[in-house]
Amino acid sequence: ETGVTQSPTHLIKTRGQQVTLRCSSQSGHNTVSWYQQALGQGPQFIFQYYREEENGRGNFPPRFSGLQFPNYSSELNVNALELDDSALYLCASSSGRASMQETQYFGPGTRLLVL
Amino acid sequence: AQSVTQLGSHVSVSEGALVLLRCNYSSSVPPYLFWYVQYPNQGLQLLLKYTSAATLVKGINGFEAEFKKSETSFHLTKPSAHMSDAAEYFCAVTPSNDYKLSFGAGTTVTVRA
């Protein structure tokens, strides 16, 4: 059984650019959640995808968008990057929708630096 | 709305001493509560979770936490610290009818030899 993987591990972009981060969910999981963890803070929920549809969103602007594919892998896209977008982006997968009875398994994250 | 407060951003303990990390939460409905650990340059690993069963929850690596509704607390303890326990620990909450985790700011644990 493979765990949650994310790519790339590190990324440097400049203000105004666009970025795409990728996540492969754990085998058998159909739900993916994305979190942003700024330096020295706890993760903040961005959004969740269940069976290719957005299932809920946190307090993030529309320039943060996502996709989930038929194999349940997922992408996080951020347009018009701002300096404050510099953070560790974590992906978590689980099985089942809207149920925290199911454990979320986190990937190692992608560290994004915006200059 | 739900939120989590972790008391103490840094905790230093001696090897073999008790580890106590404090977490208080607010939630408008019965909560599910979690403790995660994050080692340097890694993602989050679940230590334990409370989902309205037993109030004393045992997790991995010798950690346990007790849910106290009257105190709105979910403190994490380990009787005897190991050097390998040095990491950052996050408490998180979600309402039982929701799925969005709200995390505390984290507590960094250092273990002295």
- Nearest C-alpha neighbor of A76 from the set A115, A32, A42, A37: A32
pLDDT score of A97: 61
Q: With a cut of 50, which residues of chain B have pLDDT below it?
A: none
Distance, CA of A18 to CA of B85 (rounded, Å): 38
pLDDT at A1: 54
Locate B20 and state its tokens: 């106590």
> What pLDDT score was predicted for residue A95?
82
Task: Give the whole-angstrom CA distance, residue A79 versus residue B83.
Answer: 42
Tell me whether B49 touches chain A (CB under 8 Å).
yes
CA distances to A44, A95, A101, B63, B93 from B50, rounded to whole Å, are: 20, 18, 9, 13, 10
Interchain CB distance below 8 Å, A43 and B90: yes
Full DSSP string of A12-54: EE-TT--EEEEEEPPTT--EEEEEEE-TTS--EEEEEEETTEE
Residue B31 has what pLDDT? 85
User: A33 to chain B: nearest residue by CA?
Assistant: B100
Q: How many CB pairs under 8 A join A and B?
A: 62
User: B104 touching A, CB under 8 A?
Assistant: yes
Question: Virtual CA dihedral for A68, A103, B100, A10, nearest 10 degrees?
Answer: -60
What is the pLDDT at residue A94? 86
**CB–CB contact B105 A48 (8 Å):** no
Q: How far apart are the first and last CA of chain B?
A: 41
What is the rounded end-to-end Cα distance, in angstroms, of chain A? 38
- pLDDT truncated to tens, each residue of chain A (115 aa)? 568 999 999 999 999 999 999 999 988 888 999 999 999 899 999 999 988 999 889 999 999 999 999 989 999 999 999 999 999 999 999 886 655 567 788 999 999 999 9
Looking at residue B54, its pLDDT comes to: 84
Question: Which residues in chain B have their CB less than 8 angstroms from residue A48's CB?
Answer: 99-100
- pLDDT of A98: 52
The reply to whether B66 touches chain A by the CB within 8 Å rule is: no
Q: Give the pair of three-digit tokens for residue A51.
A: 């069976």
Peptide bond into B79 cis (omega under 30): no
pLDDT at A2: 67
Give the one of A55, A56, A103 whose C-beta lies nearest to B49's C-beta.
A103
Asked whether the beta carbons of residue B99 and residue A100 sit closer than 8 angstroms, the reply is: yes
Contact B96 A55 (CB under 8 A): no
